[in-house]
Amino acid sequence: MQTKRAIEELLQRIDFKFFDHSFRFKVMSKGDGFLIQVETIMKDVLTGEASLQKGGKHYVSKHAIDSEVIFKGFKACKDFATHELHKAFRVDGVQVFDPHVDFESLLEALRYMKRDSRQGSWTPQKPMINV
């Protein structure tokens, strides 16, 4: 059975550097398990200001084996990197895959959005999605 300390010790064995930024793991108790989160000090893509940036929280059961903890640590790192990629990727200066867009606003925009750029594609005159 995992303890918070045991998970912290396992995660300390991971060395994750991403574009010269070193990361650490934070472990928090959550119900019958734990949440792990990666964090680092780095510049925000939008503001350019350096601050503590945190990844999403990932659940680890108290019954997890050591390999599960390590693989969950990898997933936390991968998700952080993907999130930053989404924020940094731009077309004509526009953040195309903004992970911070309000999902309700995104749904509203998608109801009227052109679906693809192939010949013969069309833009709907009425909502595409029935609510």
Q: Quick one: which of 75, 64, 69, 70 has its CA closest to 32?
A: 64
Identify whether 105 is part of a domain: no
Residue 20: per-residue pLDDT: 87
Does residue 47 sit within a domain?
yes
14: in domain = yes
End-to-end CA distance of the chain: 45
User: What would the pLDDT profile of 97-113 be if each residue is shown by its tens digit?
Assistant: 988 889 999 888 888 77
Q: For the segment 39-90, what is each residue's pLDDT rounded down to a tens digit? A: 999 988 778 899 999 999 999 999 999 999 999 999 999 999 999 999 889 9
pTM, full prediction: 0.81
Question: Which has more confidence, 117 or 80?
Answer: 80
Q: Does some domain include residue 42?
A: yes
Containing domain of residue 13, as a range?
A: 4-87
The residues, ordered by sequence, that sit 6+ positions from 40 with a Cβ below 8 Å of its Cβ are 18, 21, 22, 23, 24, 52, 53
State the pLDDT at residue 1.
92
Work out the pLDDT band at 131, boundaries 50, 70, 90. Answer: very low
Residue 92 lies in a domain: no
Q: Are 60 and 36 in contact (CB under 8 A)?
A: yes
State residue 117's pLDDT score. Answer: 66
- Note whether residue 109 is domain-resident: no
Task: Give, for 61, the enclosing helix (H) or strand (E).
Answer: strand 58-61
Q: How many structural domains are present in the chain?
A: 1
